[in-house]
Chains A and B, each alone.
Chain A
Amino acid sequence: MTAPIKFYQTGTFTVGNRLLSPEQRSVQASPERNNSLNSGHRACQGCGEALGARYAVDAAMRATQGQLIAANATGCLEVFSTPYPETSWQLPWIHSLFGNAAAVGTGIAAAMKVKGRSNVRVIAQGGDGGTTDIGFGCLSGMFERNDDVLYICYDNEAYMNTGVQRSSATPAGARTATTMAVGAEPGAQFGQGKNLPLIAMAHEIPYVATATVADLRDLEAKVERAMGIHGARYLHILVPCPLGWGSASHDTIRLARLARESGLFPVFEAENGEVTSVTKIRHRVPVEEYLRPQKRFAHLFGPKGQIHMLERIQAQADRNIKRFGLLDLDAGDAQ
């Protein structure tokens, strides 16, 4: 600290970077940042993935002094960043296939190791479809071998690039193009979204973390932490998608925050299979507050609403809160 600061919002860094010591300032606060995902790309207005990727990759670039290579799965991030012959990527970057980003990352890491360039680090990244569905085998293999790759999943809870179809990360109740809001039980009726952070933890890999684009400084810190560790690491970032969620472009960060504050998206870190820290809920909200602004959940409300589904989603949030200890019991805001 350069000077003692009175924090009006305790536990956050929202007081402004210039009051913080340089090592505490965000990567994006620096004019020296890399701009790894440069402007000019074709992401939609309010795209959570573009925001999350820029912060994550820039943080990884700073943590590795620019010695970074990225492998990318097919998906929105790949398509909007590289409309031929242009590219937004300001780092060595390869897109191979939809389902193999983790394995391509393994190959790059192996090449760097064999060439004696272990200082060059590797990230692999994809959306939830490329991570939880089609790329799951390669990802699990990379985890199990403990290859020196940080895999980043930008989770917007459906196949947005192909037109909003259900993925195994799609939450219950959500309308997608393949879980239509019609019939007696509209929307996705099964599951709660494949919980890949917990699956990653089951591989006992050195580091697993979740983050949202509502707390970008936390995201940066987790990337930095991940790059300080060797071996397989997994970072799961919730990135709202205005197009697929049917939400306003200006609500991306608010929705990400509500996902966390409702307990639906627990934000935590884990090392070697054990949870080491959780981000506590500051102002708990019922899930309804998170769901209502999203058209993908519109069929749950109104006269023909799906009360039982709302109760089911609330129960999932309650279970997360209990399971991860998301409420600070000392603060008096427990149930």
Chain B
Amino acid sequence: MQKQIEGSRAVAEAVALCRPEVICAYPISPQTHIVEGLGELVKSGTLTPCEFINVESEFAAMSVAIGASAAGARSYTATASQGLLFMAEAIYNASGLGLPIVMTVANRAIGAPINIWNDHSDSMSQRDCGWIQLFAESNQEALDLHIQAFKLGEELSMPVMVCMDGFILTHAYERVDMPTQAEVDAFLPGYEPRQVLDPADPVSIGAMVGPEAFMEVRYLAHAKQTMALERIPQIAGEFAQRFGRNSGGLVRAYRCEHAETIVVALGSVLGTLKDTVDELYSDGLKVGVLGIHSFRPFPLAAVRAALQGAKRVVVLEKSFSVGLGGVVSTDVRLALSGLQLHGYTVVAGLGGRAITKASLARTLREAIADKLQPLTFMDLDWRIVNRQLEREAATRRSGPIAENLLRDIGAVASKVH
């Protein structure tokens, strides 16, 4: 059924269609509307049977989900940013125990300085935690990925993060096609746990493991992710067959076939990128876009296959490894190992800085001319950066950085270039 609704509401309704049995809710922008929507569905009796638990922290949210999942219940929560970091210990624990919890991450920057707007720093910080990480390009895909995530996670006994851009997707009202309960039921079977806390068959879960088996347990988590590399496209295919649209998969290429330059990106910026390369195309510039929809497992082979015919690759990322540069770029380079091509990392959109078509077109034209720096910070305001550097050189007690920069900018603290 076609609906014109907020992205968060679409995700809430899609999650409800998956019949979760335990939902843990803790507020943090920009995720909050999702759990609010689910809470309403539970309290009104629309989603039943389901326990909706208002927890006291994100750490508790994941911990309650761990207990519920280990006791055999389909479990869900959602978070973002600081919340994801606050639950980090439990995130590793959930994947280490092999509990197929599904969690939405409404991607948001991490402070300090505190910032509620979108980038990918939060989920990227949990890159190595053992969770499958799927990235949604649109609200429709976010909705669809949740339905696929429960199926994928439960098959493999691995937890899945569905990452969707905070505000850009979560708060955008768009038309989405909401499946029916019968359609979702036919696609997603009930949860059959591999391990369960049950008095009828007592097991101990979470024993201490020493050097004799720890590596093997960790390897098996990797083996599961390797299996996910096969299952993700299969599940996306099955989804397309039943629901009539392409969502998910490992990577999706746009105009890549004869492209000399390919831009690699994740999430909602793919839409802006496609519009941008359409315009470049009409100028005769052969630029394609490769969207990565599964960041973990990282589809090395699929990325290599998509990029190997190009002359240059630009990785556009909303994440940043301080002291190195790109996060996604490192993985893309691994996929391209041995290939001779120009590689560029463009860090953009941190803390919600708008990524405009104009800036993208300018940056891509520089890349095509091979005039781009290997590591570029798109639309960085060098003026205030340099002023702060000068201030620090001149005075020992130069004061708090963020506040200095805000003072330099003046009254308009947030602006679109």
User: B324: which A residues are within 8 A, CB to CB?
Assistant: none
Q: Does A183 contact B (CB under 8 A)?
A: no
Residues of B17-63 contacting chain A, CB below 8 A: 21-22, 24, 49-51, 53-57, 59-60, 63
B72 contacts A115, CB within 8 Å?
yes
Residues of A70-113 contacting chain B, CB below 8 A: 71-72, 78-79, 82-85, 87, 89-97, 99-100, 103-113
Choice from A82, A104, A111, A145 contacting B72 with Cβ under 8 Å: A111
Q: Dominant SS at the A interface?
A: mixed
Given A93-B204, A110-B73, A100 contacting B66 (CB threshold 8 A):
yes
> Please, how many angstroms separate the alpha-carbon atoms of A83 and B59 in the complex?
26
B210: nearest chain-A partner, CB-CB: A84
Residues of B66-124 contacting chain A, CB below 8 A: 66-73, 75, 89-90, 93, 97
User: B1: which A residues are within 8 A, CB to CB?
Assistant: none
User: A306: which B residues are within 8 A, CB to CB?
Assistant: none
B206 contacts A95, CB within 8 Å?
yes
Interface segment, B194-202, B346-354, B378-386?
Answer: B194-202
User: A72: which B residues are within 8 A, CB to CB?
Assistant: 206
| Interface-central residue, B54, B56, B57, B97, by most chain A CB under 10 Å | B56
User: A71: which B residues are within 8 A, CB to CB?
Assistant: 67
Q: Does B203 contact A (CB under 8 A)?
A: yes
B201: nearest chain-A partner, CB-CB: A92
Q: Does B416 contact A (CB under 8 A)?
A: no
Nearest CB in chain A: distance from B67 CB, A = 2
Nearest CB in chain A: distance from B1 CB, A = 27
Interface size on B, residues (CB 8 A): 44
Q: How many A-B residue pairs have CB under 8 A?
A: 160
Nearest CB in chain B: distance from A36 CB, A = 9
| Interface-central residue, B21, B22, B59, B199, by most chain A CB under 10 Å | B199
Q: Does A305 contact B (CB under 8 A)?
A: no
Residues of B203-253 contacting chain A, CB below 8 A: 203-210, 212-213
B87: nearest chain-A partner, CB-CB: A100
User: B142: which A residues are within 8 A, CB to CB?
Assistant: none
User: A97: which B residues are within 8 A, CB to CB?
Assistant: 63, 89-90, 93
Given A97-B90, A106-B64, A111 contacting B56 (CB threshold 8 A):
no
Q: Mark A102-139, 1 if CB is under 8 A from B, else 0.
A: 01111111111111100010000000000000000110
User: B70: which A residues are within 8 A, CB to CB?
Assistant: 94, 104, 107-108
B53 contacts A106, CB within 8 Å?
yes
Interface segment, A61-69, A167-175, A308-316?
Answer: A61-69
A83: nearest chain-B partner, CB-CB: B208
Choice from B50, B54, B67, B69 contacting A114 with Cβ under 8 Å: B50
Nearest CB in chain A: distance from B82 CB, A = 15
B56 contacts A107, CB within 8 Å?
no
User: A66: which B residues are within 8 A, CB to CB?
Assistant: 199
Nearest CB in chain B: distance from A5 CB, A = 36
Given A111-B73, A137-B56, A84 contacting B63 (CB threshold 8 A):
no
> Please, how many angstroms separate the alpha-carbon atoms of A89 and B202 in the complex?
9
> Please, how many angstroms separate the alpha-carbon atoms of A85 and B197 in the complex?
18
Residues of A38-73 contacting chain B, CB below 8 A: 66-69, 71-72
Nearest CB in chain B: distance from A204 CB, A = 16
Interface size on A, residues (CB 8 A): 45
Choice from A106, A113, A140 contacting B67 with Cβ under 8 Å: A106
A87 contacts B207, CB within 8 Å?
yes
B51 contacts A93, CB within 8 Å?
no
B59 contacts A115, CB within 8 Å?
no
Choice from B55, B65, B198, B208 contacting A78 with Cβ under 8 Å: B208
User: A83: which B residues are within 8 A, CB to CB?
Assistant: 207-208
A141 contacts B22, CB within 8 Å?
no
Q: Does A185 contact B (CB under 8 A)?
A: no
A107 contacts B68, CB within 8 Å?
yes
A96 contacts B198, CB within 8 Å?
no
Given A78-B208, A111-B21, A114-B22, A92 contacting B198 (CB threshold 8 A):
yes
A110 contacts B64, CB within 8 Å?
yes
A137 contacts B53, CB within 8 Å?
no
User: B203: which A residues are within 8 A, CB to CB?
Assistant: 92-93
Q: Does A289 contact B (CB under 8 A)?
A: no
Nearest CB in chain B: distance from A54 CB, A = 16
Choice from A82, A96, A145 contacting B204 with Cβ under 8 Å: A82
A114 contacts B21, CB within 8 Å?
yes
User: B56: which A residues are within 8 A, CB to CB?
Assistant: 137-138, 140-141, 144
A92 contacts B197, CB within 8 Å?
yes
B65 contacts A107, CB within 8 Å?
yes
> Beyond the given A106-B60, A113-B51, A116-B49, could you list 5 further A-B residue pairs with CB under 8 A, ordered by the A residue number?
A69-B199, A96-B93, A138-B59, A141-B57, A144-B56
27 contacts between A and B (CB under 8 A): A71-B67, A82-B206, A84-B208, A92-B201, A92-B202, A92-B204, A93-B205, A94-B67, A96-B66, A97-B93, A99-B89, A100-B59, A103-B67, A104-B66, A105-B67, A106-B55, A107-B24, A107-B53, A107-B73, A111-B22, A111-B67, A114-B50, A114-B73, A138-B59, A138-B63, A140-B56, A141-B56
Q: Which residues of B are interface residues toward A (Cβ below 8 A)? A: 21-22, 24, 49-51, 53-57, 59-60, 63-73, 75, 89-90, 93, 97, 197-199, 201-210, 212-213
Q: Which residues of A are interface residues toward B (Cβ below 8 A)? A: 66-69, 71-72, 78-79, 82-85, 87, 89-97, 99-100, 103-116, 120, 137-138, 140-141, 144-145
Give the 8 A-B CB pairs with smallest separation, nearest first: A107-B67, A141-B56, A95-B206, A111-B71, A103-B63, A100-B63, A104-B67, A111-B73
